[in-house]
A and B are shown apart, each in its own frame.
Chain A
Amino acid sequence: MYGNNQILKLEKLRKVFGGVVALDDLSFEVGTETITSVIGPNGAGKTTVFNLLSGYLQPTKGAMIYKDRSLQGEKPYKIASLGIGRTFQNVQIFPDMTVLENVMVGRHLRSRTGMLFSALIPSFLRPEEKRIREDAVRCLAFVGLEHAADTPAGSLPLGNQRMLEIARAMAIEPDLLLLDEPASGLNSRETIAMGELINRIREKRVTVMLVEHDMELVMEISDRVAVMNFGRLIAEGTPREVQENQEVISAYLGE
C-alpha cells in the first residue's frame, strides 16, 4: 500500500510554455477514495495539471507520484493502463461510433486479442468480444445511457455526451478519475445528476479529481478543495475552510 493513503502527490510541479509560467512549483496531495476539486480563475493552470497527469504534456520540473510511482515521461496510453482515467473539457467522443462502441473502446486494456486472431475468427465466435460488450453495457447502465446504446454518439445531446465520456473512462476500471469541467454546458437538472453520478463513482472506491467552475457543485460534493491562481496553489482544505479563506475571496473578487 502506498504511504499515508495519498494516491497522488504533486511535488513542486513546474510547467513553462515559452516565457509563460503555467505552473509555478505546485505541490499538493490527493487522498485515496476522496473527491478533490481544483478550482481557480480561468488561466490558473488547472487543465495543465490534468494534461501533465495524463501524459499529454511533460513537466518542466517537479514530480508526479501516483501510488509511489513516478508518472514522469509516460505516454497517455501507459498512464491509462496504470489506472488513471480522464474526460476532456471539450468533450472528446468518437462521433461516428455508436454509444456502446465508444464504451467498448474503454475495455481495450481489459482485453487481449491480437490482430491475427481477430482477423481469422469472426467476432461472434470470439468469447472475448461478448464479454467486452457485456462489460460496456454495464458501464453504460452505470451512467444511465443504456437506452441509447445503438445510437451514433455524435447525435447525443451534450449532457449525455459528458455522461458517455465518463462511462468510457469508467470502463478502463480506473483507481483515479480526472474529470475536466464535467458540468460545463449542463443545465441545473443535468448538473444535479452529474453530482449524484460523481458520488456514485466514489462509492465504487474510485478517487475523483475534478476541475470545475460550478461552485455549488464543487462545495457540495468535494472532500477537499484546492484553489489555484496564476499557476500557484493559494489555498487547500475542506470546502468550508476554502470559502472562508481571505486570499481565495480576493482572487475571485479581483481585489
Chain B
Amino acid sequence: MHAKDYIGFSILIGMVLVMPHLVGNDYYVGVLVFAAFNCLACIGLCLLMGYAGQISLGHGAFIAIGAYASGLLTTKMGWSPWTAMAAGAFLAMAIAFIVGIPTLRLKGHYLAMATLGFASIVHIVAVAAVDLTGGPAGVLGIPRIGLFGFSLDSDIQYYYFAWTAVVIGLYLAFNIIDSRIGRGLRAIHGSEDAASAAGVNTSVYKIQVFALSAVYASVSGSLYAYYVNYIDPGPFDVMHSILLVTMVAVGGLRHLWGAVIGALLLSLLPEMLSFAAAPLQAIGIEYKPDYDIIVYGTILLLIMLFLPEGLFAGLAAGCKSAWNLFKKILKGRPFVRE
C-alpha cells in the first residue's frame, strides 16, 4: 500500500461517515448498505480478475453459499451469526478449491466456463432443493448479527457495520497486493511462463486467490442475509454474477479502488435512474425500471470503448491533467506547452 492509497482510505472513511447525514433517509441508507455488500464481493473479484488475471462468472454462487449457510445454520441449527458466517466462508473456500483445482491448472479461461456452470447449479439447487433451502419460499426469520453484545438493529448501525467490513476487507486486500504473494499474482497476469521461471508456483497461487475471492463473496452474502433477515434464490441468479463482473470492469480491473468505485456506482445507479424518471416523464418519455439493463449495457459499452482501463484509471488521468493545468495557471501560462 502506498501513500496515495492511505489518502484513498481517508477519503473513503470520510465519505462513509458523512454520507448518512447527506442522504438523511433510511431508505437511501439501506441502498448504501447494499452497495457495501457489492463492494466487498467486488474487492475479492478484483483480486482474482485484475491482479491474477482469471475470470469468474459465478461469484453470485459464493454469495449465495454465504447467505444460505448463515440463514440455515442460524435458523435451523441455532448457531450464532458469527459462527455461521465463518462456517459459510469455510464452505465457500472448500468449494472454490473443488471447482478451482481442475480448472486453474489449465491455461486459458476454463475457470470462466466452470464458474458459469457452477453458478447455474447453485441457483437450481437453491430453487429446487426445497427441503434444504426452502425452495422459492426461501429462509425466513434470520437474526441480525450483533457486535460485542450490541445488536445492530437500525439501518444506520448496520450501515456503519457493513462499511467497516468493506474498509477491513480493502485493507487486507491492499496488504496482500503489496507482498511477495501479490507480486506473484500480478506476475502471473503479466506472463505466466516468466512467473514460473522466477519460482512462482502459478497453479497454487491461482487456486488460492480464487478461494480468497470466494471467501470475500461468502462474507458479503452472510452480511446480506443478516441485514434483510430473509433470503430466497431470486438475487443469486447468474445475472448477479455477471453484474459483479461488470462492476469490476466499469470501475477498472487493474486497481482495487476501481472495484470499489464500480461497485458503488452501479449499486446506486438504479436510484439515480429513478431520479431521472420524473424529468423524463415531463418531456413525454416514460422510464421504467426494466430499462435499467439497457443503461447498464450502454455504460459498459462506453467504458470499454473510451476508458478501457476503467473509471478509476480515467479519473486518475483526468486529475493528473487537471493538476498540471492548475500548475500552469499558477505560473500564469495556461496555454503554453512545455
Binding site for B on A (CB under 8 A): 54-56, 75-77, 80-81, 85-86, 88, 92-97, 101, 104-109, 111, 113-115, 118-123, 126, 128-129, 132, 165, 168-169, 171-172
Contact = CB atoms under 8 A, between A and B. Distances in A.
Contacts of A54: 197
Contacts of A129: 178-179
26 contacts: A75-B196, A81-B199, A85-B197, A86-B197, A94-B187, A94-B190, A96-B189, A96-B254, A97-B187, A101-B183, A104-B180, A105-B184, A108-B200, A111-B180, A115-B208, A118-B175, A119-B175, A119-B176, A120-B175, A121-B175, A122-B1, A126-B179, A129-B178, A132-B180, A171-B198, A172-B198
B178 A115 contact: no
A122 B175 contact: yes
A232 B179 CA distance: 45
Contacts of B114: none
* Closest 3 A/B residue pairs (Cβ): A94-B190, A118-B179, A92-B194
Contacts, number: 110
A92 B191 contact: yes
A129 B193 CA distance: 24
B190 A96 contact: yes
A102 B278 CA distance: 53
Contact of A104 (B1, B174, B183): B183
A132 B187 CA distance: 16
Contact of B191 (A75, A94, A123, A172): A94
Given A97-B186, A115-B212, A76 B197 contact: yes
B262 interface: no
Contact of B198 (A108, A113, A121): A108
A101 B189 CA distance: 14
Contacts of A109: 198-199
A123 B175 contact: yes
B174 to A, nearest CB: 8
Interface of B: 1, 172-176, 178-184, 186-187, 189-191, 193-202, 208, 212, 254
Which of A54, A96, A118, A165 gathers the greatest number of chain B CB atoms within 10 Å? A118
B190 A97 contact: yes
A93 B208 CA distance: 23
A61 B196 CA distance: 24
Given A77-B196, A113-B180, A132-B180, A93 B202 contact: no
Contact of A94 (B179, B182, B186): B186
B181 A114 contact: yes
Contacts of B189: 94, 96
A108 B183 contact: yes
Nearest to B201: A77
A119 B194 contact: no
A108 B188 CA distance: 13
A80 B254 contact: no
Contacts of B194: 88, 92-94, 165, 168
Contact of A56 (B183, B191, B193): B193
A56 B161 CA distance: 48
A123 B178 contact: yes
Given A92-B193, A97-B183, A108-B199, 17 more contacts: A77-B196, A81-B199, A86-B197, A92-B191, A92-B197, A93-B190, A94-B195, A96-B190, A104-B183, A105-B184, A107-B180, A113-B180, A113-B181, A119-B175, A122-B175, A129-B179, A171-B198
A114 B198 CA distance: 17
Contact of A95 (B174, B181, B190, B212): B190
Contacts of B175: 118-123
B290 to A, nearest CB: 39
Given A108-B199, A120-B172, A123-B1, A76 B193 contact: yes
